[in-house]
Structure 1
């Protein structure tokens, strides 16, 4: 118990130093930051070294301290969370209207990654038994992204990913996959007809967050195949709404 106040005080002092450093665009030396925060110089030096080591501050060649890359990463991540908060109600409405789990993915750092899943008791999500990074070729969500990529980006993705045979319906050759992407009858929507998991079908359409392509889709039992046209017509305007929301600046 005796150590807690010391730990809390250290955290508070570190935050005060970060706040002080943020006020100096061109950096400020340790003595100035200590003076502005009311900290003993030795304490300030110790905390500044720790903050630099962990990437929250960066020490310039002239001895001044500025905010580090770690804080920028936190800011970017927080912005991403805020943007997703904007679209969750849209995904929830889609789930309720179609009684289907709704998914949102993005193509980031050369991988197709699930950013959000909104499901419920009457709209369970598909069992993600194989990660989306290894199943882009077998999911509607992945194929919606691949269809939007330019030729070079698509070839790069396919060169780095094995087209694993996940079910008897999975397409496992790049030539056939590209042919189907370019000739999908529901374009720009694409489908997954039990290619990822037996008994489950999916429909997905592209979305964008600025220049980043992603996809919005829903999954449903195979016996609801006859609703694909209806689902597509609901997905397209929803995707436009999501793209608008994600493209707004914070």
Structure 2
């Protein structure tokens, strides 16, 4: 095991050395910068090249596609962590579960949820993507789309009852969406889950439709507007971190 760990460490040093030269560097230079014997460096360079972490171009080694994917993955993980930290802040500030979602590539995508045992999130018992018409998150996102995009969404995800309180049909849904005032919260009462009320606010995230939402047990409905107003007042300071979600 120590030998394997040592090999990984040496390979990482070579990758770091290669990454410090945008135009690439020859094996002897990389070996010297990584502090490795030349035969060891040659062996590791061949392995890293075979696996796609390096490419040899005109006698020098440059980072390969696999190394790029590692970097992208690390950046995405950092962004997701920032989003979850932000959601936890909002959750604690408002005393309710907090959701962040976007409309991307024709689908509703819940990027992050933050809750606690005392304030659990609404269980996704029916696919959120297919039931956007029935929950505040989906209605808020659909309200930010143009009519053509919404029609395409309805063609793939028809409006239908999820609970006895779900909006009746497409016409009723479009009337509701048409009545929404810009930047005002969307309220939904037991349309997706019996015993749960929700509110969502639109979020400005470039050209991407985005929303943040909260949910409460229906017996706490009297708190709904005050909680979502508190959420809206808290969002501005940390909105820059949430915008990272668009590239996740």
TM-score norm. by structure 1 comes to 0.79
- 1:76 equivalent in structure 2: 75
Tell me how far 1:17 sits from its aligned partner.
Answer: 2.3
Tell me how far 1:185 sits from its aligned partner.
Answer: 7.1
Distance 1:111 1:71 in 2: 27
Secondary structure at the aligned position of 1:120 is classed as: coil
Q: In the alignment, which of 113, 125, 143 is matched to residue 147 of structure 1?
A: 143
Secondary structure at the aligned position of 2:155 is classed as: helix
Query: Is the counterpart of residue 183 in structure 1 residue 170 in structure 2?
Result: no
Distance 2:56 2:134 in 1: 49
Distance 1:66 1:241 in 2: 38
Distance 1:211 1:15 in 2: 38
Q: Structure 1 unaligned segments of length 5 or more: list them.
A: none
- 2:44 equivalent in structure 1: 43
- 1:8 equivalent in structure 2: 5
Distance 2:114 2:156 in 1: 29
Distance 1:109 1:201 in 2: 28
- The question of whether the paired residues in 1 share the 8 Å contact of 2:94 and 2:230 is answered with no
Tell me how far 1:159 sits from its aligned partner.
Answer: 3.3
- The question of whether the paired residues in 2 share the 8 Å contact of 1:95 and 1:123 is answered with no
Tell me how far 1:114 sits from its aligned partner.
Answer: 2.1
TM-score norm. by structure 2 comes to 0.80
Secondary structure at the aligned position of 1:125 is classed as: coil
Distance 2:182 2:193 in 1: 21
Q: Structure 2 unaligned segments of length 5 or more: list them.
A: none
- The question of whether the paired residues in 2 share the 8 Å contact of 1:210 and 1:246 is answered with no
Distance 1:177 1:44 in 2: 60
Task: Check 1:15–1:152 CA distance in 2 against 1; reply closer, same or farther (3 A cut).
Answer: farther
Tell me how far 1:70 sits from its aligned partner.
Answer: 0.5
- The question of whether the paired residues in 1 share the 8 Å contact of 2:159 and 2:169 is answered with yes
Distance 1:86 1:20 in 2: 33
- 2:227 equivalent in structure 1: 231
- 1:94 equivalent in structure 2: 93
- The question of whether the paired residues in 2 share the 8 Å contact of 1:186 and 1:232 is answered with no
Task: Check 1:186–1:59 CA distance in 2 against 1; reply closer, same or farther (3 A cut).
Answer: closer
- The question of whether the paired residues in 2 share the 8 Å contact of 1:30 and 1:45 is answered with no
Q: After TM superposition, list the pairs within 5 Å mapping 1:57-68 onto structure 2.
A: 57=53, 59=55, 62=58, 64-68=61-65
Q: How many residues align?
A: 237
Distance 1:31 1:173 in 2: 70
